[in-house]
Amino acid sequence: MTHDLAILGSGFGGSLCALIAHQLGLNVILIDNASHPRFAIGESSTPQADLMLAELADSYNLDFLRPFASYGSWVKEYPDIPCGPKRGFSYFNHQSGGGELLVAANPDLEHADTHWYRESFDAFLAGKVKQSGIELIENAKFQLETNASHTLRFLDREVQANFVIDATGGSNSLQIEHHCDLYTQSRALYAHFKGVSKWGELHPNNHHPFKSHNSALHHLIDGGWMYVLHFDNGVTSAGFVLDIEHHPLTEETPEEEWVRIMQRYPKIATQFDQSNRITSIVQTAQLQRKSVRYAGKNWAMLPSAAYFVDPLYSTGNAHTLYCIERLMKALHYGNSLSSYEALMFDEVSLIDELVSGAYGVMQDFDSFANLSMLYFAGADFSERKRRNEGIASFLNCQDKPFRETVSRWIEQARLGNAIPCLKDAIEPWNCVGLCDESKQNMYDYT
């Protein structure tokens, strides 16, 4: 039997593609080399991610999906699928000079973004795949042969598919050549914990526009940063992301490296004093990778299969949802995937610019905070435009003057030059009073 579509990888991306394709009447098979529930990284959502979740739910009659688009509806409808509240982004500088930056992304907890407890969220979606009657094959090592169509061999079976989506993250299942020309160069060290103290309780501050721990909390350290994401089930996801030039990989075990970095930052270590680790520490090699092609006549990659830049700014899941929307439209209408590929190349370059620029000035908190306004302006402008006009590019990527502005300032940051207040530079896209010096880096939602 020939399937219209084979999807490799049943993370949230692969499962969502399967569910949407099924709604479009396509005959789908979904194959994973592991089984649910299982640990997965990539937890913090953004307004753009939530907007896309809601739009996909509405466009494809996936009513069960809609409550996941905000914290209030998620905890009400799905109390058994853990998540955490994300009122925005918070940054605490632990290098000399200190400094804080908090940027709200939503008005209150009800409408807040979320941290997805991926183990349960992904398992739920995979369960929906099965309930829909889509064949989900788990724990399967497959071999893929591609000619006019695709032949997949696994577990003594052979199936044909007219189209294949690679949603396997970094496995490169389609064996497409990679050439990484990204500026960002980082690696990560991460795990899940229980009993991590909440920063806003350890260090309460009436000037904060929201409780600083109800956010994607970033500790900036010498040559890198740490994220701390709390889930309501008592689990906390935490990890260091390190600039490779400052922190080359050594012979240390992951545990030794974790302890060494913590010892250097006793204030951060206090947050973990009462905690116990519940997963092993993952110590990655360089995170960045980039395929030379993202799609062809009868195949396509989701973002996380096509490339990876860095988790700063939590772009991964939102970008995946944007690309799922485009890919599913192209499959539905039989459109060429050349624009799917071209847009993604452009977006990867913008993400890389924003992130590599941020690393360039991470040692100077004022410059870091000023430069980050490019990301916040692009993300917010694009979210509002999409809400109002129904169409907008990811992170405002297709807005040429915006891109030129970003490139101009990123170049300065990469050269290590100080970044001044960018109020005038971002004025056309600044709908929310960013770069208002009277706010002293404390941005409530407007």
Ligand X SMILES: Cc1cc2nc3c(=O)[nH]c(=O)nc-3n(C[C@H](O)[C@H](O)[C@H](O)COP(=O)(O)OP(=O)(O)OC[C@H]3O[C@@H](n4cnc5c(N)ncnc54)[C@H](O)[C@@H]3O)c2cc1C
> At 87, is the secondary structure helix, strand, or coil?
coil
State the Cα–Cα distance between residues 351 and 322, nearest whole angstrom. 14
Residue among 302 and 343 whose Cβ is closer to ligand X: 302
Part in contact with ligand X (CB under 6 A); list of ranges 33-41, 93-101, 270-278, 437-445: 33-41
Which H or E run contains 374? helix 365-389
Residue 116: partners with Cβ closer than 8 Å, 6 or more residues away = 12, 42, 43, 44, 45, 68, 83, 317
Shortest approach of ligand X to residue 26 CB, angstroms? 19
Count CA atoms within 13 Å of residue 16 on its CB side: 30
Closest approach of Cβ 82 to ligand X, in Å?
Answer: 15
Q: Compare residues 286 and 412 and give the one whose CB is closer to ligand X.
A: 286
Draw the binding track, 62-91, toward ligand X (x: CB under 6 A; -: no contact).
Answer: ------------------------------
Nearest-angstrom CA–CA distance, 209 and 108: 10
**One character per residue 179-198, x = contact with ligand X (rule: CB under 6 A):** ---------x-x--------
DSSP state at residue 197: P
- Minimum distance from residue 297 beta carbon to ligand X (Å): 22
- DSSP tally for the chain: helices H, then strands E: 12, 20
The answer to whether 2 contacts ligand X (rule: CB under 6 A) is: no
| Binding track, positions 140-179, relative to ligand X; x by CB under 6 A | ---------------------------xxx-x-x------
C-beta separation of 121 from 12 below 8 A: yes
CB of 318 to ligand X, least distance (A): 6
Residue 2 φ then ψ, to 5°:
-95, 125
Contact track, ligand X, 354-383, x by CB under 6 A: ------------------------------
Shortest distance in whole angstroms from residue 248 CB to ligand X: 18
Contact predicate 140/33, CB 8 Å: yes
Count of other CB atoms within 10 angstroms of residue 93: 22
Q: Does 239 contact ligand X by CB under 6 A?
A: yes
Please tell me whether residue 42 binds ligand X under the rule CB under 6 A.
yes
Whole-number Cα distances in Å, 214 to 4, 47, 113, 231: 43, 15, 10, 9
Q: Which residue is nearest to ligand X (CB)?
A: 42
Least Å distance between CB 117 and ligand X?
12
Closest CA to 419 of 427, 411, 430: 411
C-beta closer to ligand X: residue 279 or 440: 279
291: which DSSP letter? B
Question: Is residue 47 at the binding interface for ligand X, with CB under 6 A as the rule?
Answer: no
- CB of residue 306 vs ligand X: minimum separation in angstroms? 10
The residues in 306-335 that bind ligand X, with binding defined as CB under 6 A, are 311, 314, 316-318, 320
Give how far the C-alpha of residue 243 lies from the chain's centroid of Cα atoms, to the nearest Å: 18
Nearest distance from residue 316's CB to ligand X, in Å? 3
Among residues 65, 36, 60, which one has the least CA distance to residue 49? Answer: 65
The Cα–Cα gap between 18 and 272 comes to 39
Contact map string, positions 3 to 32, toward ligand X, x by CB under 6 A? -----xxxxxxx----------------xx
The residue range among 38-46, 101-109, 381-389, 434-442 that interacts with ligand X, by the rule CB under 6 A, is: 38-46
Nearest approach in angstroms of CB 188 to ligand X is 4
Residues that bind ligand X (CB under 6 A): 8-14, 31-34, 40-44, 167-169, 171, 173, 188, 190, 239, 287, 302, 304, 311, 314, 316-318, 320
